[in-house]
Amino acid sequence: MKLMSLLFFLQVNTGLSQSAAMDSAQFLSGACISCHTLDKAATSVIPSLVGQSSESILSDMLDYASGKRAGLLMPQIAKGYSREQIEAIANYFSSLDRP
Amino acid sequence: MRRRRFLKHTLFASAAMLGAPAIEAKRKPHVVVVGGGFGGAIAAKYLRMYSKGQIDVTLIEQHKQFVSCPMSNLVLAGLKDIAYCTQKYDQLADRWGVRIIHQRAEKIRAAASRLILADASEIVYDRLVVSPGVDLQWDAIDGMDHPKANDVVIDAWQSGADSVRLRDQIQALKPTGSVAISIPLAPYRCPSAPYERASLIAGYLKKYKPGAIVHVYDANQEITTEKDLYQRFWQEHYKNVLFYHPDNTLVAVDIEQRKLHFEFEDAAADVLNIIPPMRAGRIAIDAGLATANDKWCEVDFLNFESVAHRNIHVLGDSIQIAPLMPKSGHMAAQHGRTCAYAICDSLLNKNNPLPPVYANTCFSFVSESHAMHVASVHHYSKENKTMESVKGAGGVSTSPSPEEVPLAFAWADAIWADMFR
């Protein structure tokens, strides 16, 4: 099951390398940037998502949405996004600054 | 002189307007943005970013610096200096290539696609983005035509200088003095801000002016947002300092006597903080964009185009909001981003734009040490042609907490960076 979802995830990741898809992912991710700064060097209690692995953003968001992971704010936000949207957002931020 | 200015501005303007043949298609489209607040600054920056420089953007903003309303209640309580809320526009120009003109936009000539500035110069646009904030309706309150009205009554609802003046009045209050806050009927800019303000002033008075009190006169029938959280915190912390009076619409003010006249009672106070009724910014009203009760501007939520005029887009506090959509700076920023994305798509002939998704968070301080939030996520409904909040998502804090204080500061840092850097 885990392998299946990873395969699906990698497929989405590849698909998004096309520029049109990237534009939509950039637009969709805009809502996150108001709190999660793009400035990786900034010291903020709200972490920058730039360069984080897409797997960790995806699993964090899914855990927030399912209630598996607690938080002051993110459980309320994560519940508003579909899995596809979360995948696009996760891929976008991880693509910004690859290690 | 006027002619020279006009020519200078038309360098950016439509070649077609100057009679050039349509075949000369290399000119970049020109978008003019009126107002450099949360909506306008984001729209200007993201138009440049999304278009990868293929759209020329001019931002018209009368002030040389931006002073944020969100976080400015901290200034009233002496917890932050106004410099903390102040941002510069220079990186929008230097980093993003936005042309900035620090002038007041006077008038829109929609039929000619021209914007008239305070010095009478004209700018031709392909698209106009109007993000003028709110116009305070002082004429709704009798007595505000008194020559000293502006010295005695302070709204501190759109100007940083006013926040400093109101802070000074509160700090000069005598030990047994009183502050009155008058809240207009919703919708008004920033639903939570009047209650945050009342809380922070109460906290200040409790600490520095024991015996002084704050009265909140609300035209609404109850606290309009996070009601239980505010009520509980006020009961626990400000019981003898903060007094809340719902269903009190201010009709007149006596400037000489410092008295407020409501529909059913009168009240006197040393400091009068009146937040008057409000509507869309003046330039939007004058241009006939306020199609909802002559107060707010109806737009297409896919691109923020006005229902009254093609090629004119309206953002932020000026719009007729969708259900459960707050008039917040955070929301205005999302309007700006959506509008920029849709305009790029339309002008640069790309694909159909993706329907927007918004995540809104408004943090409020209830004291120096405790903050809380209200959050919501909004999706576009094709069926109802509006933004709808997602059921099951969003919500408010369980209770105000010290943990949310650094989150609120981090939010401000991030959104100001998103606007200006």
pLDDT digit string, tens, across residues B120-132: 999 999 999 999 9
B95 found inside a domain: no
Contact B357/A81, CB-based, under 8 Å? yes
Q: How many domains does chain A have?
A: 1
B159 found inside a domain: yes
CATH number at residue B323: 3.50.50.60
More confident residue, B10 or B171: B171
B421 contact residues in A (CB cutoff 8 A)? 39
- Residue B120's CB is within 10 A of a number of other CB atoms, namely 12
B192 lies in the same domain as B175 = yes
Q: Which long-range contacts (CB under 8 A, 24 or more apart) does B134-137 make?
A: B134/B158, B134/B188, B134/B189, B134/B278, B134/B279, B134/B280, B134/B281, B134/B317, B134/B318, B134/B327, B135/B278, B135/B279, B135/B280, B135/B281, B135/B282, B135/B285, B136/B276, B136/B277, B136/B278, B137/B276, B137/B277, B137/B278, B137/B279
**Residue B12: pLDDT above 50?**
no
Closest CA to B233 of B87, B342, B338, B367: B367
A46 contact residues in B (CB cutoff 8 A)? 407, 410-411, 414
CA distance B282 to B134: 8
Average pLDDT of chain A, as a whole number: 82
Q: Distance (Å) from the C-alpha of residue B345 to the closest C-alpha of chain A?
A: 10
B57 lies in the same domain as B157 = no
Q: What is the pLDDT of residue B353?
A: 75
Contact B406/A45, CB-based, under 8 Å? yes
Q: What is the pLDDT of residue A15?
A: 36
Beta bridge partners of B378: B358, B389
Average pLDDT (A31-59) is 94
Q: Determine the residue among B411, B415, B416, B419 to mutate to test chain A binding: the one whose Cβ has the most chain A Cβ atoms within 10 Å.
A: B411
CATH number at residue A20: 1.10.760.10
Residue ending a domain, among B294, B320, B353, is B353
B37 found inside a domain: yes
B209 lies in the same domain as B223 = yes
Average pLDDT (A37-65) is 94
Q: What is the pLDDT of residue B221?
A: 98
**Residue B20: pLDDT above 50?**
no
Average pLDDT (B69-81) is 97
Q: What is the pLDDT of residues B109-122, one digit of tens each?
A: 999 999 999 999 99
B261 lies in the same domain as B158 = yes
Q: Distance (Å) from the C-alpha of residue B9 to the closest C-alpha of chain A?
A: 31
B129 Rama class: left (phi>0) / alpha (psi -120 to 50) / beta:
beta
Which residue on chain B is closest to A28 by alpha carbon?
Answer: B357
- Residue B18's CB is within 10 A of a number of other CB atoms, namely 11
Residue B168 domain boundaries: 140-277
Average pLDDT (B210-214) is 97
**Residue B15: pLDDT above 70?**
no
Q: Where are the beta strands (DSSP E) in A1-99?
A: none
Q: How many domains does chain B have?
A: 2
Residue ending a domain, among B224, B253, B277, is B277
Q: What is the pLDDT of residue A98?
A: 59
Q: What is the pLDDT of residue A14?
A: 35
Contact A24/B354, CB-based, under 8 Å? yes
Tokens 């709190």 found at = A35
Instruction: Return the percentage of chain B with pLDDT > 70, whole number.
Output: 93
A79 contact residues in B (CB cutoff 8 A)? 377, 390, 392-394
B307 lies in the same domain as B261 = no
CA distance B254 to B149: 9
B373 contact residues in A (CB cutoff 8 A)? 72-73
Q: Determine the residue among A18, A26, A27 to mutate to test chain B binding: the one whose Cβ has the most chain B Cβ atoms within 10 Å.
A: A27
Q: Distance (Å) from the C-alpha of residue B165 to the closest C-alpha of chain A?
A: 30
When CB atoms are compared, the residue of A20, A44, A85 closest to B414 is A44
A20 contact residues in B (CB cutoff 8 A)? 350-351
Q: What is the pLDDT of residue A20?
A: 54
Contact status, residue A32 vs residue A46, Cβ threshold 8 Å: no
Contact status, residue B336 vs residue B42, Cβ threshold 8 Å: yes
Q: Return the minimum-mean-pLDDT range out of A44-58, B21-35, B145-159.
A: B21-35
**Residue B315: pLDDT above 70?**
yes
Q: What is the pLDDT of residue A22?
A: 52
**Residue B258: pLDDT above 80?**
yes
Q: Determine the residue among B361, B389, B421 to mutate to test chain A binding: the one whose Cβ has the most chain A Cβ atoms within 10 Å.
A: B361
φ, ψ (nearest 5 deg) of residue B155: -90, -40
Q: What is the pLDDT of residue A21?
A: 54
Q: What is the CA radius of gyration of chain B?
A: 22
Contact B415/A44, CB-based, under 8 Å? no
Residue ending a domain, among B254, B277, B300, is B277
Give the number of A-B residue pairs with CB atoms closer than 8 Å.
Answer: 101
ipTM entry: 0.89
Contact A76/B403, CB-based, under 8 Å? no
Q: Distance (Å) from the C-alpha of residue B6 to the closest C-alpha of chain A?
A: 36
B411 contact residues in A (CB cutoff 8 A)? 34-35, 46
More confident residue, B292 or B264: B292
The angle, 0 to 180 degrees and rounded to 10, between the axes of the packed helices B227-237 and B193-208 is 10
More confident residue, B348 or B11: B348
Q: What is the pLDDT of residues B352-409, one digit of tens each?
A: 778 899 999 999 999 999 999 999 999 999 999 999 999 999 999 999 999 999 999 9
Query: Could you tell me which residues come within 8 angstroms of residue B398 by beta carbon, excluding any fewer than 6 positions away?
Result: none
- Dig out the tokens for B218 from the structure: 């609300």
Residue A81 domain boundaries: 2-96
When CB atoms are compared, the residue of A38, A39, A76 closest to B394 is A76
B215 lies in the same domain as B290 = no
- Please give the model's pTM, rounded to 2 decimal places: 0.91
Q: What is the pLDDT of residue B219?
A: 98
A38 contact residues in B (CB cutoff 8 A)? 417-418
- Dig out the tokens for B386 from the structure: 């509006």
A78 contact residues in B (CB cutoff 8 A)? 393
B108 lies in the same domain as B132 = yes
B126 lies in the same domain as B219 = no
Average pLDDT (B323-332) is 95
Amino acid sitting at position B390: V
Q: What SS3 state is found at B359?
A: strand
B109 lies in the same domain as B210 = no
CA distance B60 to B69: 19
**Residue B16: pLDDT above 50?**
no
Query: Chain B residues with CB-CB distance to A under 8 A?
Result: 46, 50, 330, 333-334, 337, 341, 350-351, 353-354, 356-359, 361, 373, 375-379, 390, 392-395, 397, 401, 403-404, 406-407, 410-411, 413-415, 417-418, 421
Average pLDDT (B150-155) is 97
B128 lies in the same domain as B149 = no
CA distance B417 to A50: 15
B381 found inside a domain: no
